[in-house]
Amino acid sequence: MATELTMPKLGEVMEEGTVASWRVREGQTVQEGEILLEIETDKATAEIESPASGVVTRILVPEGQTVPVNTLLAVIT
């Protein structure tokens, strides 16, 4: 079963975020709660944890790209 990781809404007024850095790569095994990436907003930088254990099968948004909230960032299977 695949788990989709989307751009989280980190505040009431947040509309978009920038992928500052990925701490994993495609094909890497991760554990639930492990830090996957850092997101930058206009107010803060946040570490985003894996919502599930599995393998990162796809990273869809590269570092440095800004995307709207709820955009698919990665898939874990």
Of 12, 13, 20, 28, residue with least CA distance to 48: 20
pLDDT for residue 43: 86
pTM of the model: 0.92
**CA pair distance 3, 39, nearest whole angstrom:** 19
- How many CA atoms are closer than 13 Å to the CA of 19, on its beta-carbon side? 22
For 43-70, the pLDDT digits (tens) are 899 999 999 999 999 999 999 999 999 9
Specify whether the CB–CB gap between 77 and 2 falls below 8 A. yes
For 7-22, the pLDDT digits (tens) are 999 988 899 999 999 9
Domain that holds residue 46: 3-9+16-76
Of 71, 67, 75, residue with least CA distance to 30: 75
For 13-50, the pLDDT digits (tens) are 899 999 999 999 999 999 999 999 999 998 899 999 99
CATH number for position 66: 2.40.50.100
- What's the total number of domains in the chain? 1
